Amino acid sequence: MDAIKPLQIDIVSDVVCPWCYIGKRRIENALALAPEVPVHVNWRPFFLNPWIPREGIDRDTYLETKFGSVEAYKGIAQRVVAAASEEGLTYRPETVKRQPNTIDCHRLIHWAEAAGKSAEIKQRLMELYFRDGGDLTLSETLVQAAADVGLDADDIRRRLATDEDVERISADAKEASDKGISGVPTFVLAGKYAISGAQPADQLARAIRQVSAEVNAQAAG
């Protein structure tokens, strides 16, 4: 019997998107529910707030611009905080003081891929932001995050000071947008089936099994 062909899963998300934080945990739980399906996961960039400048903006200014007021977001945040908690995650909206542009975060995730650590650095950046109120606009925050997952801090510091892969990340994010992805997280299975939103782990696992079976049936046929 031929070996099962690995299922490609492209996860389009942003590190400052709370549902992406939750969705990352849910897809990991989904993969644990379907251990018989070999997968190859790619983390794809998305800019939830492409209008934010590279240096970031004050969090309250961001909330006022996007939601009308800081108070308006508090009602929305309660539901997200509860959903995160159900997944064993911590989201403390009140600790976030700066809203970042995330292109440097996405560059770091891309660089970590060579070491097989893109999922780890993504998780670390999200924890820093949602749990600890870390300022992701600061290069040193990103450098420390890189060091935390075993990447070379000096190498990352040097690369962040350049424009390396800025165009590539921007192009990848534009490609997702051009394909019609407007909400994240979006999970793209086998390059053609898109699941939008942080769906429950059991639903994701079911989709993973179904698409894997289809892909392998086509390969066998």
User: Who contacts 103 (Cβ-Cβ below 8 Å, separation ≥6)?
Assistant: 45, 47, 54, 166, 169, 170
Question: Is 154 among the domain residues?
Answer: yes
Q: Which domain holds residue 159?
A: 7-220
pLDDT in tens, 21-77: 999 999 999 999 999 999 999 999 999 999 999 999 999 999 999 999 999 999 999
pTM of the full structure: 0.96
For residue 57, the surrounding DSSP H or E stretch is strand 57-58
pLDDT in tens, 137-172: 999 999 999 999 999 999 999 999 999 999 999 999
Tell me, what CATH number does 24's domain have?
A: 3.40.30.10
Question: Is 2 among the domain residues?
Answer: no
Using CA atoms, how far apart are residues 202 and 176, in angstroms rounded to an integer?
25
